[in-house]
Chains A and B, each alone.
Chain A
Amino acid sequence: MSTFGARILASAGQGTLDPSFSLLAPGASANAGRTDALFIALLVLCGGMAIVIATLIVVFSFRYRRHAVVDRGNQASGESAGEIRLEIAWTVTPLLIFLGIFAWSTWDYIRTTRTPADALPVYVVAKQWMWKLQQRTGRREINELHVPLGQPVRLVMTSQDVIHSFFVPAFRLKQDVVPGRYTTLSFTATRLGEFHLFCAEYCGSEHSMMLGRVVVMMPADFSRWLAAGPNEPGLAERGFALYRSRGCSGCHEPGSTVHAPSLAGLIGRTVHLQDGRSLVADENYVRDSVLLPLKDVVAGFDPVMPSFAGQLDEEEIAAIVAYIRSTSDASEGRR
């Protein structure tokens, strides 16, 4: 990782929140280069097409203007075979080009959704009109996200009220943050510095004031920053404490009189449900099980789990999710 970081550092300068005009700041994430390349290719293609059409229109308009003395002969009265061939040509050609663009952009897109297993998790709660973030160690931030250079980061996000959207133009990425469920966004920062964070889904009065910044630091500096924060238990630790204090362990630990599924290594495991369906457990599954326990009951268990809706806030749920995830990391780990 450090050689990777050193390579990147050598290439480009730092990002800053510079108020002066520039045409386009260079990208700061691993995927930004590919997005920019695709965009430029599309600009060239589409711009080229637009220029061709505009030129043809202008040239024809001039050459065939009413008073121009020029050959207009051989005008077929109906649709000739030549015309039909031309039509088919300019139907099939664009279609093939468009399918090519689709393939390229889909490939790029799929790459951005793949997250390495060792990605640094950060839990994000959006609310009107601010961002609340929490690192795995428990260190909290408001409207700021510190991340280390060259390290994959995975944001697990939810909203407390309306739909927001986590947008970092320098990373060329955004993801809607939806109430009632988790959405995720993964990236690897490749430039040091500070970058704008915007809310990109209209959310009420101060939507345009819901600003923040992403601060990318050298990994060593990041570790120091993380350690320097107020001494709080890590997210997974808090989750474990809640797991005990709210009574989850009373049913879910082996040896309990109530027959409840074990939660160790749950995230990433395939779960078989009562109605015959099966799914791969993720953060949303854990969250739904806590808040809406009758939604996806595991096969072979009674639907007796009480709901914790209204008793846990988003940060507490995030802590419990982090705890359960940590039991996976402790065992095999891979998704």
Chain B
Amino acid sequence: MTARTAPLADAARTPRHAETALRMETAELGMWVFIATEILFFGGLFFAYLYGRTHWPEGFAAAGRRTDVVLGTLNTAVLLTSSFAVALAVAAAEHDRRRWVARLLWLTAALGVVFLVIKGTEYRHEWSEHLFPGPGFALAATAGAELFFVLYFLTTGLHALHLTIGIVLMGAFAAGTEHASGWAHPPRLQVAALYWHFVDVVWIFLYPLLYLIVRHS
């Protein structure tokens, strides 16, 4: 990115345009940098996972077999669909199809809620099977199994927290678009969509690590 007179074709028309265009470019870059910090945030947990898997492969395998691969796969499909929906919403926004933008954003938020419900169901199952770390952990005899579940709950919990923020964001944009508020305009929606895609991508990394890899051995 170069200095202020970056390729913003019609930005030079008025100083006001230039300001707005610059603010958007700034906001988008800000979101990318924020995503970079989040990657390292989750990255720390991925590192711990890698360490655990290297040192206690059998423990991780035993614990990994206890995650619910059906619900996990279902959730992956839900989240992928939601990303598709938000991408469509951004495209619709560029063509000024306000009604569709609102509908698609509500759909995105709804799919996010579905994800959380399914996740909650998984957590309930895991609670009843004594898979929560701490005293009374079911697989305490297997070294490494508890670490797996610590990481499982931390990563999915943090992911759910980020997802919840995303749901609120999408809902706000949906409402804002419906009421034709000035602030919910396309460039801003693009930045918010970026956040949602990031949350989706985190899950795409978590899903194989928590549900798939540990099952094959």
Contact = CB atoms under 8 A, between A and B. Distances in A.
Answer yes or no: A and B touching, Cβ < 8 Å.
yes
Contacts of B141: 294, 307
B217 A295 contact: no
A294 B57 contact: no
A292 B56 CA distance: 10
A128 B195 CA distance: 49
Given A288-B143, A294-B62, 5 more contacts: A275-B57, A275-B58, A292-B142, A296-B58, A297-B58
B144 interface: yes
Contacts of A274: 58
Interface residues of A, number: 10
Given A294-B58, A294-B59, A295-B56, A275 B217 contact: yes
24 contacts: A274-B58, A275-B57, A275-B58, A275-B61, A275-B217, A277-B57, A288-B143, A292-B142, A292-B143, A294-B58, A294-B59, A294-B62, A294-B141, A294-B142, A294-B143, A295-B56, A295-B58, A295-B59, A295-B142, A295-B143, A295-B144, A296-B58, A297-B58, A307-B141
Contacts of A275: 57-58, 61, 217
A276 B140 CA distance: 24
Contacts of A297: 58
Interface in A62-97: none
Interface in A262-317: 274-275, 277, 288, 292, 294-297, 307
Contacts of B142: 292, 294-295
Contacts of B57: 275, 277
B62 to A, nearest CB: 8
Nearest to B144: A295
Contacts of B61: 275
Nearest to A291: B143
Contacts of B144: 295
A294 B62 CA distance: 10
B176 to A, nearest CB: 53
B145 to A, nearest CB: 9
A181 to B, nearest CB: 11
B64 to A, nearest CB: 13
Contacts of A307: 141
B89 to A, nearest CB: 46
